[in-house]
Chains A and B, each alone.
Chain A
Amino acid sequence: MSEQSAIKKLDVESADIDASFPGHLLRNARKSMGLSKEDLSRQLYLTPRILEAIEIDDFSTISNAIFARGYIRNYARYVGADSDVLINAFDHAYGRPDHIAKPMVTITDIKKQASSGDTWVRASTGLFLVIFVVLTLLWWQGQNVTLVPAAINKVMVNDEQGHAVVAGSEATTASIKPADQTLGLAQLDTETESASPDSTQSNSFIEQSELVQISESIVVQDNNKVTVTDQTESPGGIDMSTVDAVSISDVQVSQSIANLADVVDTAVVQSANEAQLLMVFDNDCWVEVKNGDGNVVVASLLRTGQTVDMAIVAPVELLLGRVSALAKITFDGDNIDLTPYIGKDVAQITLGK
């Protein structure tokens, strides 16, 4: 009867458990059962010290919370108390050990992982594809744009009256081969920027004079403007008098079309970081010119009497096969002293460092 009342009392009081563990409830229950600490110790195989610790709420002598919880359960079960309530009180007072199982989560509770059928996965895949296609198109367009200047080369020729005549060629650098020396302006898509009645005449004249004769000797790369003037030779039978008649004063050559203008006395438009390089040869000489961008601008055998006059990005690296063949060399208007190279055949000169 006393046991029953103890349980009842314990259940009633368990409702208002505060922050401390209600060990006194267990002690009361034990006493009401008429059990001494030693009696209970023999029943539960727990030392009286542990029972005392539980009853006075001093768990410092119990090393591990897991054991403390287990002892409380055993104690409560023996005296007929609700062990769950007491364990909750213990957790409330001392904290729940973190490794104790939480209620088992089921597979459906697991955060859903991405699947190929998800809308956002499909949307992001689609977006990625669109971005990829757009980037590919942009890249392709960029490739085309770089080809444009090479595709339409223009030669600006000022005729006698000062009218500008522009000859455009659809040929690319690659398509102009040294063998294609007969390439006349008839093949060029002629257009007149400032309309002139003489433009057609000028064209036909240039065609007649077969100006494109010495392209074999010039290799033009990049955007350097190269003018090679041949004053003595006209392999194709250039009639200088007719050239004079037209007095073409200005030819702007861009990229590969330079060979069209190499017999014409030209002036080259010079940009800010460019310098003027002039070389006059009185003998045959192999010349290789590399501009500041590291591109080889000229790599050819220049004949006696030929002149290289170009605007070029500094610094310039020159490789001359025969220094003695060089009659004159100026860079940016200054004469270059060739005395250190006297007696040598090959010279490597860097200009405009």
Chain B
Amino acid sequence: MLKKIRGLFSSDLSIDLGTANTLIYVRDKDVVLNEPSVVAIRSHGTQKSVAAVGRDAKRMLGRTPGNITAIRPLKDGVIADFHVTEKMLQHFIHKVHEHSWLTPSPRVLVCVPCKSTQVERRAIKESAMGAGARDVFLIEEPMAAAIGAGLPVEDASGSMVVDIGGGTTEIAIISLNGVVYSESVRVGGDRFDESIVSYIRRNYGSLIGESTAERIKQEIGIAYPSTEILEIDVRGRNLAEGIPRSFTLNCNEIMEALQEPLSSIVQAVKSALEHSPPELASDIAESGIVLTGGGALLRDIDRLISEETGLPVIVAEDPLTCVARGGGRALQMLDEHTFEMLAKE
């Protein structure tokens, strides 16, 4: 009852609970929050408290003293630490409603990986409820991504979407508001970072942190050979000498470093195409594949997939927020439309 009253003062939210970033779309507004899914926990003996959440906590990653632990509560698109996820969601929901003088109790639509198990989905739902949501709906990430990208999901024609997130890559063939075939590989932006870290350790004998690896990926990361050579200066701890050293990396090296995770994604895309019904495969061959998610921002990744599959590949507008926006549109349709787009728990 109280939740319902508080709900009157809360906006409906669509949450893209990603491994790397959490995005919140507020109904009738737009994406209003894009924060890293990181929580810093401070320990006082046996007691623990939240020291920072989001961007502040991410700055602490790898730089924390003994009593503070900066953790990422989601791994491979699913909850790794239930309580910390709940705290993080609570913080974000409050942040979105920070001007409200009542404790918010919104209706929440959360995106889940299409291959997540029942237990994982239950955990996401419970944590959203624990964070104060009055109703929780789940939607599969590729479906939300397709809606957010503006694909004609309700048409009787096949659309293929590849959502390259932080922890997982979701591939789905969608037709008539439903997922015909979906594939999920636990390869995403995080794996790209790890590959860069291990490449530098192997080739330069230096250790760099995850944040540095992410910066390298964003600035000079490339997925397909290019004539344009980009370079970046990086500082890392030399393993042999034990002291920080500076060195220069170019984009071709990063492309080499990313080969393994990229080929996993390409393989998954090919596998999805193999499993698609012939009529839908024909539609996809005509219109092409749409890339969404933060991974789609990797330079020339569309070119790589296009060359590997022989199909036109386009990157969605603002791929980072596609899932959250798609969830938001699904939320708007919730009151007037069927619930067929929603994922079953």
Interface residues of A (CB under 8 A from B): 44-47, 63-67, 69-71, 73-74, 97, 99-102, 104-107, 109-110, 112-116, 121
Contact = CB atoms under 8 A, between A and B. Distances in A.
B8 to A, nearest CB: 12
B277 interface: no
Contacts of A63: 152, 155, 157, 287
Contact of A74 (B30, B148, B312, B321): B312
A64 B26 contact: no
Which 8 residue pairs are nearest across A and B when measured between Cβ atoms? Answer: A70-B314, A101-B318, A113-B99, A66-B150, A115-B101, A116-B101, A112-B99, A113-B100
Contact of B29 (A45, A67, A110): A110
Given A67-B287, A107-B96, A110-B99, A99 B314 contact: no
Nearest to A44: B312
Contacts of B318: 100-101
Interface string B130-172: 0000000000000000011111100101000000000000000
B9 A113 contact: yes
B94 to A, nearest CB: 11
Nearest to B283: A63
B321 A101 contact: yes
A116 B103 CA distance: 12
A39 to B, nearest CB: 15
Interface in B287-340: 287-288, 290, 302, 306, 310-318, 321, 325, 329
Contacts, number: 96
Contacts of A105: 29-32
A76 to B, nearest CB: 12
- Counting contact residues on chain B (CB < 8 A from A), the size range is 35 or more
Nearest to A121: B101
11 contacts: A63-B157, A74-B314, A101-B317, A102-B30, A104-B30, A107-B33, A110-B26, A110-B32, A113-B97, A114-B99, A115-B100
A104 B30 CA distance: 7
A115 B32 CA distance: 20
Nearest to A102: B30
Given A64-B287, A104-B31, A115-B100, A99 B311 contact: no
Contacts of A106: 32
A59 to B, nearest CB: 13
Contacts of A65: 150
A205 to B, nearest CB: 71
A59 B173 CA distance: 24
A66 B316 contact: yes
Given A66-B290, A101-B31, A115-B101, A45 B325 contact: no
Q: Which of A47, A99, A114, A116 has the most CB of B within 10 A?
A: A99
Contacts of B321: 101, 104
Contacts of A102: 30
B81 interface: no
A99 B329 contact: yes
B126 interface: no
Contacts of B26: 110
B86 to A, nearest CB: 21
Contacts of B147: 99
